[in-house]
Amino acid sequence: MQGLTLMEHRLRIVNSYIDCGQKWPATAREIAAWAIQQKLWAPHNATLIGKCAEELASAMREEVYTDPQGREVRTKHAARIIEEGLQTTLWDDIRTAERKHMEIAFKQRRQQIVGDCSRLKVDVDSFNENRSPDVPIQLILDFTEDVAEMEAVDALNCDPNEPRPHASRSRGAVPALV
């Protein structure tokens, strides 16, 4: 891997997979199985710790509790901060976290959404201009009506004796493309 960044090394593995005539398109798991079998990738201790941390973070993102108003609310929230000169991500519980932690976490989650929307717009614009100029895919980035609709559906489906369903579990995702 001399001279290559980790990202370049990983992309080289993917390109080798393709160049070797393996099934394409493919899942990341299929590519990973091939890479391990070909001894192009092996876990390092730091990789295992990172994978474990990733799985724990995923679990923390999924944990919910029912608040006093009956809403299913995400329990654990991450905030990236600078601590002793190093950037780190701290997790805390919404029920016990200090307001400052939650302000940082909410602001950063909103920025992630903005970043996702920006990347989506670039992708849609590129597709429309290069692949479908005559019938472009329309992209709506104002989610006000989508959120209001999900809240209304949640309210209609709400049994006062049952916890309210988490919005993403109450129905399919509202498409951003119309």
pTM for this entry: 0.64
Q: How many domains are contained in the chain?
A: 2
Whether residues 16 and 75 fall in one domain: no
Residue 148: pLDDT band with limits 50, 70, 90: very high
The answer to whether position 4 is within a domain reads: yes
Whether residues 37 and 101 fall in one domain: no
Whether residues 29 and 86 fall in one domain: no
Q: What is the pLDDT of residues 76-118, one digit of tens each?
A: 999 999 989 999 999 999 999 999 999 999 999 999 999 999 9
User: 60 with 94: CB under 8 angstroms?
Assistant: no
The answer to whether position 86 is within a domain reads: yes
Whether residues 84 and 151 fall in one domain: yes
- Greater model confidence, 148 or 158: 148
HEC string of 82-142?
Answer: EECCEEEEEEEECCCCCHHHHHHHHHHHHHHHHHHHHHHHHHHHHHHHHCCCCCCCCECCC
Neighbouring residues of 98: CB distance < 8 A, sequence distance ≥ 6: 92
The answer to whether position 81 is within a domain reads: yes
Whether residues 145 and 66 fall in one domain: yes
Residue 178: pLDDT band with limits 50, 70, 90: very low
The answer to whether position 157 is within a domain reads: yes
